[in-house]
A and B are shown apart, each in its own frame.
Chain A
């Protein structure tokens, strides 16, 4: 357990010393920083309240006449707070963050992590999209149809994620995390297809 740099009292994972109220060195862990348990499902309203509240408490303007150490900590804390809020409010970034914290490699994955059926499916979808793209304006209804289908697939992936989030939060099961990673990969491919069609629809409307 760390001691307060100012008064020496032992600290309990708090941003401020419970005794002298001075700002402590901020933890880089997004969940601990916000005083949250590491859960995949988060209440977005609660998260927003915590963000606003801490933004006020940590704002560097409040520390202009404090010690240099606290001025430095408030800058660091504000940077962490902004990153933490940006990541944790987005269910995909949040899940990637938890996977990384739990030791899953999410950056450089090679093909062995991707099921071949998914690659086949994505390949076929891309082929179909390419054909529509080459077509004239008569292909527009089909593009809209493809768009609706991809968005529905993305929603499906999101629903699956919510289920897995709940399972992980109640059981702490690492299998659920591994499945989360699989669904995130799938979602990434679908997300790409969605934005490809969006681009195409915007271009054909112009």
Chain B
């Protein structure tokens, strides 16, 4: 099956490959996978706590070209957005941008899930930080 030029571009020159410090309270990590194809995708984002803007994003994906391109594009898109704006990104946006064929739509779903998982991890951390430890324990 032929990949679109945009998929090939992201596949050959993936943006933002790498990782961020997982223990940083401003970093959210999302790890998602698709058992039917054996893909696994890790997406991390770093939020500026004052502005709520995503200042950095990294990913690492083991999977097909479409999965790599979807996550590469996702990190590109979320950088500079607020957390709430990033949550608005839909898998269909990724499908359209990369011209993914129907059999590869699940790759875009995975990328959307990864963004959501990373943000929910960040929010969980931020929420825990706001609460005094004594209250959180009781």
Is A107 at the interface (CB under 8 A from chain B)?
yes
Knowing A111-B110, A111-B113, A123-B62, the reply to whether A188 touches B42 (Cβ < 8 A) is: no
List the 10 closest A-B pairs by CB distance, nearest first: A192-B38, A185-B35, A111-B32, A126-B62, A119-B33, A119-B31, A114-B33, A122-B40, A123-B40, A189-B38
Q: Cβ of A110 and Cβ of B109 under 8 Å apart?
A: yes
B117 at interface, CB cutoff 8 A: yes
Question: Which residues of A, 102-130, contact B by the 8 Å Cβ criterion?
Answer: 106-111, 113-114, 116, 118-120, 122-123, 126-127, 130
Question: Given A108-B106, A111-B117, A123-B62, do A116 and B38 touch, yes or no (CB 8 Å)?
Answer: no
A95 to chain B, nearest CB (A): 13
Report the bound CA distance from A108 to B35 in whole Å: 9
Q: Is B34 an interface residue (CB 8 A)?
A: yes
Interface residues of A (CB under 8 A from B): 106-111, 113-114, 116, 118-120, 122-123, 126-127, 130, 184-185, 188-189, 191-192
Interface string of B30-54 (1 = CB under 8 A from A): 0111111010101000000000000
Interface of B with A (CB < 8 Å)? 31-36, 38, 40, 42, 60, 62, 106, 109-110, 113, 117
17 new A-B contacts, CB < 8 A, other than A111-B32, A123-B31, are: A106-B36, A109-B34, A109-B35, A110-B34, A111-B113, A113-B35, A119-B31, A119-B33, A119-B40, A120-B31, A122-B33, A123-B42, A123-B60, A188-B36, A189-B35, A189-B38, A192-B38
Instruction: Give A122's nearest chain B residue, CB to CB.
Output: B40
Which residue from chain A places its CB closest to the CB of B109 in the assembled complex?
A: A110
Query: Chain A contacts of B33 at CB under 8 A?
Result: 111, 114, 118-119, 122, 189
**Interchain CA distance A191-B110 in the complex, whole Å:** 20
CA–CA, A192 to B35, complex, Å? Answer: 10
In the assembled complex, 27 residue pairs joining A and B whose CB atoms fall closer than 8 Å, in A order, are A107-B36, A108-B36, A108-B106, A109-B34, A109-B36, A110-B34, A111-B33, A111-B34, A111-B110, A111-B113, A114-B33, A114-B35, A118-B33, A119-B31, A119-B33, A122-B33, A122-B62, A123-B42, A126-B40, A126-B62, A127-B60, A188-B35, A188-B36, A189-B38, A189-B40, A191-B38, A192-B38
Shortest beta-carbon distance from B33 to chain A in Å: 5
CA distance A122 to B38 in the complex (A): 9
Shortest CB distance A14–B (Å):
36
Q: Which partner residue on chain B sits nearest A184 by CB separation?
A: B35
The CA-CA distance from A127 to B36 in the complex, in Å, is 20
By a CB distance below 8 angstroms, the chain A residues around B60 are 123, 127
Report A182 CB to chain B, min CB distance, Å: 9
CB-CB < 8 A to B117: which residues of A?
Answer: 111
